[in-house]
């Protein structure tokens, strides 16, 4: 009578001669580190981990991977920055927990927010004029810029530009 083999036994037998290339090993290592950093950032931003605990965990992850760690944590934190939003926890994380100079990121953010503010005024005037052309006017009429498709496209473009400029900065 034949032996019944598990699926795992069959898989192990078929893959016993496969090995990972150095590039694949490096990619796997990078993804694992990025996953740990994402989790660390999210726990801090959610208030699950305090600043002191974050520093300890960040130091442990950074050991042996300093350049890679600094770049990943900067990029992952920048992705969480909201234009015209409250970003104090993200800047606290970058400045206090991992000692990254946040001034260049603040400058890029301020520039992006200024562009956004200028365009917001222009778009709101255009929307009011459009409503006025339809016979809708008065002091109680407010344009809903968030529903404007052109505004959404502009907001997306400014966000994309902010991310690119910020991530191009050295940690």
Residue with tokens 């052309």: 133
* 76 closest CA partner among 96, 98, 48: 98
Between residues 25 and 162, the one the model is more confident about: 162
What confidence tier does 44 reach under pLDDT thresholds 50, 70, 90?
very high
Instruction: For the chain, give the percent of residues with pLDDT over 90.
Output: 56
State the pLDDT at residue 23: 85
Task: Give the other-Cβ count within 10 Å of 156's Cβ.
Answer: 10
Residue 131 in tokens: 């409503």
Q: How many helices (H) and strands (E) does the chain have?
A: 7, 0
Check residue 106 and give its pLDDT. 95
**14-41 mean pLDDT:** 87
Using alpha carbons only, give the angle 41, 47, 49 rounded to the nearest 5 degrees.
65
Per-residue pLDDT, 8: 80
Question: In this structure, are residues 133 and 127 in contact, taking their beta carbons and an 8 Å threshold?
Answer: no
The pLDDT tens digits for 78-124 are 999 999 899 999 999 999 888 889 999 999 999 999 999 999 999 99
Q: Which of 68, 66, 4 is nearest to 31 (CA)?
A: 68
Q: Please say if the pLDDT value at position 1 is more than 50.
A: no
Mean pLDDT for 9-16 is 79
Spatial separation of the C-alpha atoms in residues 112 and 117, rounded to whole Å: 9
Residue 48 has a pLDDT of 95
**Residue 100: what pLDDT?**
87
Angle 139-142-144 (CA atoms, 0-180°, nearest 5)? 175
The average pLDDT across 7-20 equals: 79
pLDDT mean across residues, the chain: 89
**What DSSP state is assigned to residue 2?**
P
49 token code pair: 């981990």
């Amino acid at each position: 009578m034949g032996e019944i083999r598990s699926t795992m036994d069959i898989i192990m037998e078929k893959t016993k001669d496969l090995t990972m290339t150095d590039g694949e090993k490096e990619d796997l290592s990078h993804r694992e580190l990025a996953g740990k950093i994402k989790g660390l950032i999210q726990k801090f931003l959610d208030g699950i981990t305090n600043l002191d605990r974050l520093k300890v965990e960040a130091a442990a992850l950074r050991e042996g991977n300093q350049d890679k760690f600094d770049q990943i944590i900067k990029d992952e934190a920048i992705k969480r920055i909201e234009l015209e939003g409250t970003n104090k926890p993200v800047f606290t994380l970058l400045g206090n927990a991992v000692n990254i100079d946040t001034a260049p990121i603040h400058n890029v953010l301020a520039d992006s927010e200024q562009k956004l503010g200028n365009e917001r005024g222009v778009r709101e005037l255009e929307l009011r004029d459009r409503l006025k052309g339809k016979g809708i006017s008065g002091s109680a009429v407010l344009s809903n810029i968030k529903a404007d498709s052109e505004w959404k496209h502009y907001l997306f473009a400014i966000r994309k530009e902010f991310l690119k400029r910020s991530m191009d900065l050295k940690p």
